[in-house]
A and B are shown apart, each in its own frame.
Chain A
Amino acid sequence: MSIPMYWRTSHQRLALTGEVCPTCEAKLFPPRDICPHCNSPAKTRFDFCGRGTVYSYSLVNVAPRGFERCAPYVVALVALEEGPLLTAQLTETDPQDVFIGMPVEMVTRRMREGSEQGLIEYGYKFRPCMERAEA
């Protein structure tokens, strides 16, 4: 990732921030300033809750350069609760445990290892939803 690209997408990658269309109320990710559903200007910031389900997925055994450390890993299409579909790596899960419809939640993780001298890229991944009921 170039430094300008890193800077431009920093907040959306770290916090899963997109936009909401003021006309048709569609939630947009990534932010694109024009609503693809009704073509209206859509620049209102919207923070996604971070929960969703696995829509589909694929196992990556031979990782592209910079992603070797986590291989083998699953890349999934995640359907966010608010609507949008996005592509993300799954983490904290064994590939054989992943299934379509699996509830997942966003975490911020190291995405890609460049050189020892380079920038560390942080961004969103998803993991199986943690069980929280312990009350």
Chain B
Amino acid sequence: MPLMKPTMDVGIIGYGAYVPRYRLPASEVSRVWHPGGDRAPVEQKAVAGPDEDTVTMSIEAARNALARAEIAPARLGAVWVGSESHPYAVKPTSAIVAEAIGATPHVLAGDWQFACKAGTEALQAALALVGSGMTPYALAIGMDTAQSRPGDVLEYTAAAGGAAYIVGPGDEAVALLQGSVSFATENPDFWRRPQQNYPEHGGRFTGEPSYFRHTLAAATELMEALGRTPQDYAYAVFHQPNRRFPREAAVRLGFSAEQIKAGLLVDRIGNAYAGSSMLGLGALLDVANPGDRVLHVSYGSGAGSDAFEWLVTDGLHERRHRAPLTSYYVNRVQEIDYATYARYRNKLQME
């Protein structure tokens, strides 16, 4: 049986988003690199400021999650950050985040890595840690400041942002875990070697054998195991590498445009990599009602998908407004041009 669920009831007790305020319009990438040809797979993407990185963005998302959860940070038994853009190759992001939010010293702190599903991998582990009774609360974050080679098609979409989730006992949850499925295989669709600044990707190979195979399998197996059909869900959210993939996944699984609309952020912020489906889930929790079921499916190259079913509880309405909504971050926009982007993201090597 592929279905996973801890023996204890567990769920999300607090969540928090973060998206930096800068936006690079796709027209700027086209202007500089592809004049005359519009290949833009999104409208614009979120870009981290010159003093931001996965550590600082994780800290703000974690503070928002703590504000909603209203627990003492010292009660967190784990602080886990999933990302492909940890600021250090060796020195844990998670320990810096844990120190900043007041979760140290009795805490598991570790960095997770699985391309765009590093965040949900951490979330799976947090659910298991709490569900086993080892600790009452655990924090899982998916956050990225994604890299892309100047002029590459990924430069349109490789964005910054993410979300933090505090997992706790079911009776405190705003969204209860109903079950999850993980589906992973060895897959050569996207990679980055050590000491390389930019990733390589398999072009069209990233679609059918990669994103769609894993996303559709995890989603279908989870729904089968729980005896659901798409009509049982109020909302669904998928990993969002571009405008087309999540929409096509929804259609192929039998979900309507209405079911995925609220969680679809890619047009306005780009692909936040490990933060992508985590942010989309946050946007859904901002609008969901008690009793709603949410299907949440990540995808990470390499490759794998985690599929979760969440059941929204009565506790959500009261906690929702204790921190800024995901839409607040999505809607605060300061446009920058390509030159400013190049400066902010260190695209010019000075020495």
- Which A residues contact B (CB, under 8 angstroms)? 10-11, 14-15, 47, 69-70, 91-92, 107-111, 120, 122, 125, 130-132, 134-135
Please give 15 more A-B residue pairs, beta carbons under 8 A apart, in addition to A122-B100, A134-B328.
A11-B99, A14-B99, A15-B100, A70-B50, A70-B51, A91-B51, A107-B56, A108-B56, A108-B100, A109-B52, A110-B56, A111-B51, A120-B88, A130-B332, A134-B327
Q: Which of B100, B324, B325, B327 is A14 in contact with, Cβ under 8 Å? A: B100
Q: Could you name 16 residue pairs across A and B whose Cβ atoms are closer than 8 Å?
A: A10-B99, A11-B99, A14-B100, A15-B100, A91-B49, A91-B51, A92-B21, A92-B49, A107-B60, A108-B60, A111-B51, A120-B55, A125-B51, A130-B332, A132-B328, A134-B327
Q: Mark B261-278, 1 if CB is under 8 A from A, else 0.
A: 000000000000000000
Interface centre among A10, A120, A122 (most CB of B within 10 A): A122
Q: For the complex, give the distance between the alpha carbons of A14 and B58 in Å.
A: 13
Chain B residues contacting A120 (CB-CB under 8 Å) are 53, 55, 87-88
Cα distance A10–B52 when bound, in Å?
A: 18
List which B8-61 residues lie within 8 A (CB) of chain A.
21, 49-53, 55-56, 59-60
Q: Is the CB of B50 within 8 A of A14?
A: no
A130 lies within 8 A of B96 (CB): no
Interface residues of chain B: helix, strand, loop or mixed (majority): loop
Q: How far is the CB of A60 from chain B (nearest CB, A)?
A: 14
Binding site secondary structure of chain A: mixed
Chain A residues within 8 Å of B53, by CB: 110, 120
| Nearest CB on B from A48, distance (A) | 12
Q: Name B's A-contacting residues (CB within 8 A).
A: 21, 49-53, 55-56, 59-60, 87-88, 96, 99-102, 321, 323-325, 327-328, 332, 343
Cα A10 to Cα B101 in complex, Å, equals 12
B52 → A minimal CB distance (Å): 7
* Shortest distance from the beta carbon of A63 to any chain B beta carbon, whole Å: 11
List, in ascending order, chain B residues with CB within 8 A of A11's CB: 99
When C-beta atoms are compared, the residue in chain A nearest to B88 turns out to be A120
| Set of chain B residues within 8 Å of A110, measured between Cβ atoms | 50-53, 55-56
Please pick, from B51, B102, B324, the residue contacting A109 in the complex, using a CB distance under 8 A: B51
Find out whether the CB atom of B101 lies under 8 angstroms from the CB atom of A132: no
CA distance A134 to B325 in the complex (A): 8
Contact status B324-A130, CB under 8 Å: yes
Choose among B55, B56, B328 the residue that contacts A130 (Cβ–Cβ < 8 A): B328
Question: Are B50 and A15 within 8 A (Cβ)?
Answer: no
Question: Chain B residue with minimal CB distance to A135?
Answer: B321
Nearest residue, chain B, Cβ from A11: B99
**CB of B128 to closest CB in A, whole Å:** 29
B101 neighbours in A (Cβ, 8 Å): 15
Q: How far is the CA of A109 from the CA of B60 in the complex (A)?
A: 10
Measured in the bound complex, the distance between the Cα atoms of B323 and A10 in whole Å is 26
How far apart are A44's CB and chain B's nearest CB, in angstroms? 15
Residues of B within 8 Å of A109, CB to CB, are: 51-52, 56
Nearest CB on B from A71, distance (A)? 9
Please name all residues of chain A whose beta carbon is closer than 8 Å to the beta carbon of B324 when the two chains form the complex: 130, 132, 134
Q: Is the CB of B50 within 8 A of A69?
A: yes
| Min distance, Cβ B339 to any Cβ of chain A, angstroms | 14
Q: Which 10 A-B pairs have the closest CB atoms?
A: A14-B100, A109-B51, A69-B50, A110-B51, A108-B59, A135-B321, A109-B56, A108-B100, A70-B50, A14-B99
When chains A and B are docked, how far (Å) is the Cα of A14 from the Cα of B96? 8
Name the distance in Å between A65's Cβ and chain B's nearest Cβ.
14
Least Cβ–Cβ distance between B347 and chain A, in angstroms: 13
